[in-house]
Amino acid sequence: MSKQCTQPKMGGQGGNGAQQQRAPARTYSMAANEVENPNDMVTGTFPVCSRSAYVLFDMGATHSFVSLSFARHLSTPSQYLEIGLAVEIPSVNTLVADKVHKSCDLILCDRMMLVDLVPLAILKFDVILGMDWLSANHASVDCFKKEVRFSLSEQLEFVFRSMGVS
């Protein structure tokens, strides 16, 4: 994993829920065999709550998600979302999510980062990191170069480079 991370330069700038309402959410995650050029996907394997997870960086996802099978191994308990999510997925019409595992630790490029993960019936990935996490961590995804660049305030900029499709 550490071979996939670089530090090019200094950068960056500084409960129980109402379940009648549903906020719209979206994820466009697909398996490698479902996309025209699977080498454009940015993926990696990282520890999430001390367990190895196959992760997709998904700019089309509004939230970050965890598969139901992987969620059973998370050390943080789930709690109800204030407003449930109606999640649109390409292969299925809409799934409903009403819980979240808050502040799960993810180790990326030797840095501990936190992510809130919404359990969802996804199959090909353990974790999908969506725009909520990407924007909070000042991350930009370059699908052509298969890399994610992080510019966190008062830290050295670092880059994760995907090794492509496994």
- pLDDT per residue over 107-128, tens digit each? 999 999 999 999 999 889 999 9
Give 5-35 pLDDT, tens digit per residue.
766 544 333 444 444 455 555 555 444 444 4
Alpha-carbon dihedral 2, 40, 124, 141, rounded to 10 degrees: 60
User: In whole angstroms, what is the distance from residue 56 CA to residue 14 CA?
Assistant: 26
- Give percent of the chain above pLDDT 70: 73
- Look at residue 158 in the predicted model and tell me its pLDDT: 94
Joined tokens for residue 149: 């660049």
In what helix (H) or strand (E) does residue 68 lie, and over which residues does it extend?
helix 68-71
pLDDT confidence tier of residue 153, bands split at 50, 70 and 90: confident
In what helix (H) or strand (E) does residue 43 lie, and over which residues does it extend?
strand 43-48
- Cα four-point dihedral sign 106, 124, 71, 16: positive
Domains within the chain, CATH numbers bracketed? 15-29+42-132 (2.40.70.10)
Mean pLDDT along residues 74-95: 87
- Look at residue 5 in the predicted model and tell me its pLDDT: 74
Which residues are registered as beta bridge partners of 117?
101
Count of positions (residues) in the chain: 166
pLDDT confidence tier of residue 137, bands split at 50, 70 and 90: very high
Q: Tell whether pTM > 0.85.
A: no
- Report the chain's mean pLDDT, rounded to a whole number: 82
User: In whole angstroms, what is the distance from residue 121 CA to residue 87 CA?
Assistant: 10
Joined tokens for residue 40: 């454009």
- Look at residue 41 in the predicted model and tell me its pLDDT: 85
Mean pLDDT along residues 70-86: 94
Amino acid at 19: Q
User: In whole angstroms, what is the distance from residue 64 CA to residue 128 CA?
Assistant: 5
Please tell me what DSSP assigns to residue 124. Answer: S
Query: Which of 87, 91, 81, 93 has the alpha carbon at shortest distance from 63?
Result: 87
Residue in the structure block whose two tokens are 């992760």:
55
